[in-house]
């Protein structure tokens, strides 16, 4: 028990101290949380705080749950319903460009169909955790394009739940077409049930939460709800992140939502640091050399596809080029879903280059996305102004 406590405390301290250095020069915290994990993990010479990343796996899972739970609280179901067709269209454009481009790139590598499908998901779907953290760090939750970004994230999260189910036969985790369809149907039913609760069950949930007069008990209850539903989602083959997001979406419709949002912030910030620290622990610098060139190409490809998606999605939503830049660079980060796919590919015995490829790719974009997003106002000038004619709702007031 003492070793586990030292490892957890060391993770908090290392992540916090490294991130403090970054904040002094105006950089986001995410890359520094991960850098702490790399430097103090088992794959790097020197002090090893955590020998086995699995020791902190549960705490990392709680960090992801808190991040996505808070994101759900910030996202109004009413806004999603009101802007449904446009938000779904934006998400579809983003996925078509990025997942489609990733699939073609996977084939170009010559690694086979199964590997191409894994690469398509790994490079095509952004990290909800990183995107959420970037929006929080840059104080952009109130920006006009943030609703669009969150809409894309929701569509991505729904897509990835179905994508994971569809990949089961390819990765050898489903015995045939019948089981594969059952996995997809189960994921879809889970999402429909939770959306229905968010839409029509707010009163019942409010009773479960209580009046909110006792903040201690309210905190215990909403944390319990988020973790239980996330765990149930994981058990039935749906991402725990989606379960946590949906709980946040449900509680956002209750009278206690503002109080819950305030109470969850310290939990989110603390455990999110552990999540990114553990991500750093999984990276072995020694295995990255052979995949440097493919990763460099993939990063450039993703950058261009994200900019194109940001422009297209912003145009159909009446936004300007600064918002297009914010969208493209904010959703650039890749993280937890890419790593999950890589681990499944390794377990299924696919090409052994997939693991190092995804690790280096995710690290570069996890570092690059927050940095580029923080400079998106300046980078917006590189987008030709003629793409966004000044008319209608082309808004340019944004940070």
List pLDDT tens digits, range 249-280: 888 888 888 899 899 999 998 998 998 888 88
Give CA–CA dist 380/399, Å, rounded.
Answer: 11
When comparing pLDDT for 258 and 169, which is higher? 258
Cα angle: 387, vertex 391, 396; to 5 degrees: 70
The whole domain housing 77 covers 2-387
List pLDDT tens digits, range 190-213: 777 877 877 777 778 888 887 777
**CA 107 to centroid of chain Cα atoms:** 25
In the structure, what pLDDT confidence band is assigned to residue 183 with cuts at 50, 70 and 90?
low
359 in any annotated domain: yes
Which stretch, 26-30, 176-180, 285-289, has highest mean pLDDT?
A: 285-289
Q: What CATH code is carried by the domain that includes residue 282?
A: 1.20.1530.20
pLDDT at 393 over 50: no
328 in any annotated domain: yes
DSSP 208-234: HH--SS-HHHHHHHHHHHHHHHHHHHH
The answer to whether 62 and 240 have CB atoms below 8 angstroms apart is no
Q: Provide the pLDDT for residue 75.
A: 66
When comparing pLDDT for 104 and 211, which is higher? 104
When comparing pLDDT for 45 and 103, which is higher? 103
List pLDDT tens digits, range 361-388: 988 888 888 889 988 888 988 888 888 7
53 in any annotated domain: yes
| CA-based nearest residue to 338, from 124, 131, 158 | 124
Tell me what the pLDDT averaged over the chain comes to: 82
In the structure, what pLDDT confidence band is assigned to residue 159 with cuts at 50, 70 and 90?
confident
pTM score: 0.73
Q: Provide the pLDDT for residue 392.
A: 43
Structural domains of the chain, count: 1
Q: What mean pLDDT do residues 15-44 have?
A: 82
pLDDT at 391 over 60: no
74 in any annotated domain: yes
pLDDT at 303 over 90: yes
Q: What mean pLDDT do residues 333-341 have?
A: 80
Angle between helices 146-167 and 128-137 (to 10 degrees): 160
With a CB cutoff of 8 Å and minimum separation 6, the contacts of 247 are: 69, 72, 194, 222, 225, 226, 229, 230
The pLDDT > 70 percentage for the chain reads 87
Q: What mean pLDDT do residues 14-37 have?
A: 81
In the structure, what pLDDT confidence band is assigned to residue 41 with cuts at 50, 70 and 90?
confident
393 in any annotated domain: no
Q: Provide the pLDDT for residue 50.
A: 83
In the structure, what pLDDT confidence band is assigned to residue 356 with cuts at 50, 70 and 90?
confident
202 in any annotated domain: yes
177 in any annotated domain: yes
Q: Provide the pLDDT for residue 180.
A: 62
List pLDDT tens digits, range 121-147: 999 999 877 888 788 888 888 888 888
Q: Provide the pLDDT for residue 223.
A: 93
Q: Provide the pLDDT for residue 43.
A: 82
381 in any annotated domain: yes
Give CA–CA dist 70/75, Å, rounded.
Answer: 9
């Amino acid at each position: 028990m003492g070793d586990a406590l030292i490892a957890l405390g060391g993770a908090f301290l290392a992540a916090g101290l490294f991130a403090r250095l970054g904040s002094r020069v105006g950089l986001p915290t995410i890359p520094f949380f991960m850098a702490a994990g790399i430097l103090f993990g088992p794959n790097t010479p020197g002090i090893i705080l955590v020998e086995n990343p699995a020791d902190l796996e549960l705490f990392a899972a709680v960090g992801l749950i808190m991040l996505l739970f808070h994101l759900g609280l910030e996202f109004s179901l009413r806004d999603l319903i009101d802007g449904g067709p446009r938000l779904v269209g934006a998400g579809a454009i983003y996925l078509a460009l990025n997942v489609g481009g990733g699939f073609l790139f996977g084939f170009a590598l010559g690694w086979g169909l199964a590997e191409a499908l894994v690469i398509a998901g790994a490079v095509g779907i952004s990290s909800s955790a990183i995107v959420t953290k970037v929006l929080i760090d840059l104080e952009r939750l109130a920006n006009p394009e943030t609703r669009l970004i969150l809409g894309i994230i929701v569509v991505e999260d729904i897509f990835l739940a179905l994508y994971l189910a569809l990949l089961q036969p390819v990765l050898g985790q489903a015995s045939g077409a019948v089981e594969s369809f059952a996995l997809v149907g189960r994921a879809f039913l889970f999402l429909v049930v939770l959306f229905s609760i968010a839409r029509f069950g707010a009163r019942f949930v409010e009773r479960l939460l209580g009046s909110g007069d006792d903040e201690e008990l309210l905190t215990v209850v909403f944390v319990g709800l988020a973790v239980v539903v996330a765990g149930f989602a994981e058990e039935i083959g749906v991402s725990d992140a989606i379960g946590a997001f949906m709980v946040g979406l449900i509680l956002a419709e209750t009278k206690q939502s503002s109080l819950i949002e305030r109470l969850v912030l310290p939990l989110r910030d603390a455990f999110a640091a552990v999540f990114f620290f553990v991500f750093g622990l999984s990276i072995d610098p020694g295995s990255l050399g052979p995949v440097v060139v493919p990763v460099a190409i993939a990063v450039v490809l993703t950058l261009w596809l994200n900019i194109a998606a940001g422009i297209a999605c912003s145009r159909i939503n009446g936004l300007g080029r600064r918002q297009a830049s914010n969208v493209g660079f904010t959703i650039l980060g890749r993280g937890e879903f890419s790593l999950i796919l890589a681990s499944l590919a390794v377990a299924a015995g696919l090409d052994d280059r997939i693991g190092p490829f995804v690790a280096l790719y995710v690290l570069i974009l996890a570092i690059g996305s927050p940095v580029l997003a923080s400079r998106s106002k300046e980078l917006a000038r590189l987008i030709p102004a003629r793409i966004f004619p000044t008319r209608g709702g082309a808004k340019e007031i944004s940070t």
